[in-house]
Amino acid sequence: MGSSSDSHDSRAGLPLEGIVIADFSRVLAGPYATMLLGDLGAEVIKVEGPQGDDTRSWVPPKRPDGVSTYYASINRNKKSIALDFKDAEDLQTAQELAFSADVIIENFKPGGLEKFGLDYDSVIAQNPTVIYSSITGFGTRGEGAKYPGYDLIVQAMSGLMSLTGDPEGTPYRAGISVFDVMAGLHSTIGILAALRLKDQTGEGTHVEASLMASALSGLVNQTHAYVGGGVTPMRMGNAHPSLYPYEAMPTADDDVIIACGNNSQFKRLCEVLGIPEIAEDERFADVGDRTDRRSELHPILVAELSKKTAADLFTELNAVGVPCGPINTISQGVEYAQDLGLEPIVDVGSGEGTVPGVRHPLSFNTLQPRYELPPPTLGEHTDEIKNWLKSLRNNRSSS
């Protein structure tokens, strides 16, 4: 264990070395953020209730050792302490941890930590330089503060589901908890910005992120279609509202994704398909023209695409710089990333305790993210963390 003022861990070159994060978050958004920060050297202490993080029981699927793959996907490089806030001694330990940490992250319902003395106001009174990161569903003020934050609810209420699925069919959720992930990423940015501010001013900061705010920001062009243009976008299946062709297209066998983002790419597509004159046709000469007349252009392209296989188009189009790709399964996607040399699978831990994990999303030319600690068992490091807090108390009393 270590802290910004008492660290003896050797993680040379990792930018967050010596930063202690007390992670009071659960499920996905917060744990994802703290895993990314832990990969970059932060000391993450995962605080769990007696039953543990909910995702420990979210199965199937499981790893061969019986651990939930959901839990394992977002909890490496952490140490777990199990505490029951209803127990006076455990609550005191939780408070000590909060008062000693450099960063706190939590995703309790607004006001839910006040009765435990772990809310921002209580903590900042004892730990004035702390970075305190809160993740909620709909913010901490007004009507939204009383609603719990579930990704599926936010996908529905933000408008994402209205954009997902067949135009004539039912709205669909995304295949992952996309706004939990976004909120975790936004919280990570906020924490890093607050740490930089602390370097400059010596002051702590309360960083707030909500799934709803992350959703409206993350919907980017779709949100701004309404905010800036007064247009309410609706679902278009795999089609793009502002580009064509930019969707799944039929071939002689399987569908393939073709993404023409500009006139040059469209010209090269037409050349590969043997219809160069279409790129010169004034009806389809510009991006907006093609989008407006997609119903005219679509059958022309499909007639030529049907003469080639998806594999042939992937090879021929990418050879001339036209973005094109197959629609893979998750396993095919991982294998393709491996073929590209991205090395998506890493070994987490060492020796017999090594487990597979997904590589940190960032690469640096001066450092390597760490993969030292497999996802912890519930309360695995409770004694270690309590002993560290005791040593901090002893150091303070003797100074």
Residue 298 is which amino acid?
Answer: H
| Residues paired with residue 210 on neighbouring β-strands, in sequence order | 136
Which of the residues 53, 180, 255, 383 is marked catalytic? 180
Contact predicate 116/91, CB 8 Å:
yes
Q: Assess whether 383 carries a catalytic annotation.
A: no
Residue 87 is which amino acid?
Answer: D
Return d(Cα 8, Cα 17) in angstroms, integer.
10
Lookup: tokens for 336? 């393709």
Return d(Cα 204, Cα 187) in angstroms, integer.
15
Return d(Cα 96, Cα 385) in angstroms, integer.
11
Which residue has 């002893």 as its token pair? 394
Q: Which residues are catalytic?
A: 180
